[in-house]
Amino acid sequence: MKRWYLYLIFVLLVVVIVAFPTVVKWNPSMNLAEVWNMVHQPKKKSEPVRETEGNAVLLELLELRQRHHLRPLTEVEHGTKIQNLPRGIYGFSMCDLASLSRRRDSASLLEIHKHLDGIVYYVGYASKDDVEKYLARRNNFHILTSPDRGDRTSLLFEIPVDFVSKCEARPFKEGYIFDLFVIAIPELYS
C-alpha cells in the first residue's frame, strides 16, 4: 500500500484523458493552438464603428477583411496598379482602378479587395433590391454602390471587378455614388 499515490495519479490522469474531449469538444484534427484560441477568444465589442487612421470603419467591413485575410497596403505599395500588387490586400480607388490608395482620404473612393486567389472585388453598400438582382444572377442590370452605408444603401456586398462591364462615378452629396453595370455573370462550375 506504499504506492497508493501512484495509483491515484494514474486514475486521475485517465479521467482527465477521457473527460477532456467531452469538456472541450475535442476534434482529432484540432491542434493545441486551436484549442487555446477557442478557450481564450477575445470578447467582441458591441460598438458598431471603429476608428482606423481617422476614418470610421464599420465592424461588418472589418470582419469581411478578416474573413478574407486581407491586409492594408503598405507605404511602398501606395499608388501602385492593382495588377502589380500582391494577393491578400485591400485599398481604395475610383472606378478605373488606375492605382490603389492606402487610405480612404475622401468620401469618393470605393474599397477594393484583392483576395488570396487573385480575384479583385469592388466592395461597397447597395440597396436590398440591387443585391437581390446580383444574387439572382440576372443579366443587364445596374447596381448603385456607395462607399458608405446609407438609408438606401444598407447592405454590404462585394462583386468581382470582372463581372462589371462599366463603372461610373456620379457626384452625390459630399462624395460619389458608383454605378456598376453588369451585362452577364459567368456560370460557376464546381
pLDDT digits (tens, 9 = 90+) for 130-161: 888 888 887 888 888 888 887 788 888 898 88
pLDDT digits (tens, 9 = 90+) for 79-113: 888 888 899 999 888 888 778 888 877 656 888 99
The pLDDT, as a whole number, for residue 115 is 92
The three cell numbers of residue 1 are 500500500
What does the radius of gyration of the chain's CA atoms come to, in whole angstroms?
A: 24
Given a contact cutoff of 8 angstroms between Cβ atoms, the answer to whether 158 and 121 are in contact is yes
Distance of CA 167 to the CA centre of its chain: 22
Question: Backbone phi, then psi, for 163, in 5-degree steps?
Answer: -75, -20
| 19/45 Cα distance (integer angstroms) | 32
pTM of the complete model: 0.66
